[in-house]
């Protein structure tokens, strides 16, 4: 019997989903088979959605993990990630988000970062990231803190994007 899960990706156009996307996710206490399974399902959903990153809250799981896959590289899984250093130099990328489909905006972020996280095997690792990988990791880590890329753009641009999803800017929830 085929055993697979198609995870729904939460988008800002649904009030209840937007509320989840604006919440701070909790650390994962035990990295176990369930965590591995969740990460695998997230990788599948990310690839299916043509995304290069996906964070727990985007599939309704308020847990601190995200997945990344850039081009033909193997997917990466970051559990309980923390940025331990950032460069003063910034780089700018036009960002999009599976939770804000069809909308893009330039965002400046530190060009180089060092990140510490745990793997699905429960082992800690540290990586240095630059370029697109650095941006994706920062974008996904933001999701774990209830922050979306539209929080990094001008108010005017944010209102315009919220409008596309019929979200009243006055009703755009605070991070909880
Ligand atoms: Ni995103």
Domains of the chain: 15-171 (3.90.45.10)
The separation between CA 15 and the C-alpha centre of its own chain, rounded to angstroms, equals 19
Whether 127 shows a pLDDT value over 90: the answer reads yes
Positions marked active-site: 140
pLDDT in tens, 142-176: 999 999 999 999 999 999 999 999 999 999 999 99
Handedness of CA 78, 146, 92, 51 (dihedral sign): positive
End-to-end CA distance of the chain: 41
Q: How far is the CA of 83 from the centre of ligand 1 (A)?
A: 17
Distance (angstroms) between ligand 1 centre and the Cα of 117 equals: 19
pLDDT tens profile 40-73: 999 999 999 999 999 999 999 999 999 999 999 9
CA of 31 to the centre of ligand 1 (A): 23
pLDDT of residue 46: 96
Kindly state the tokens that stand for 64: 């601190």
pLDDT of 2 > 70? The answer is: no
Please compute the mean of the pLDDT values over residues 23-29 and round it to a whole number. Answer: 98
Average pLDDT over residues 16-20: 98
The C-alpha atoms of residue 31 and residue 120 are separated, in whole angstroms, by: 7
Residue 6: pLDDT band with limits 50, 70, 90: confident
Q: By three-state DSSP, how is residue 119 classified?
A: coil
92 vs 132: CA distance, rounded Å: 9
Q: State the average pLDDT over residues 77-90.
A: 98
Give the global pTM: 0.96
Instruction: Using alpha carbons, list the distances in angstroms from residue 37 to 31, 43, 44.
Output: 11, 10, 11
């Amino acid at each position: 019997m085929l055993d697979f899960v198609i995870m729904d990706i939460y988008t800002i156009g649904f009030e209840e989903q937007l509320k989840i996307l604006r919440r701070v996710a909790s650390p994962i206490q035990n990295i176990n088979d369930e965590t591995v399974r969740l990460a695998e399902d997230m990788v599948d959903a990310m690839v299916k959605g043509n995304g290069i990153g996906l964070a727990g809250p985007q599939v309704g799981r308020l847990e601190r993990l995200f997945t990344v896959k850039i081009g033909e590289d193997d997917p990466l899984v970051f559990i309980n990630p923390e940025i331990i250093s950032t460069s003063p130099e910034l780089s700018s990328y036009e960002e999009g988000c599976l939770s804000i489909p069809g909308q893009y905006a330039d965002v400046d972020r530190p060009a180089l970062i060092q990140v510490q996280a745990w793997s699905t095997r429960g082992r800690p690792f540290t990586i240095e990231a630059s370029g697109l990988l650095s941006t994706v990791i920062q974008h996904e880590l933001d999701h774990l803190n209830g922050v979306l890329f539209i929080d990094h753009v001008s108010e005017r641009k944010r209102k315009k994007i919220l409008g596309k999803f019929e979200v009243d800017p006055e009703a755009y929830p605070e991070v909880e």
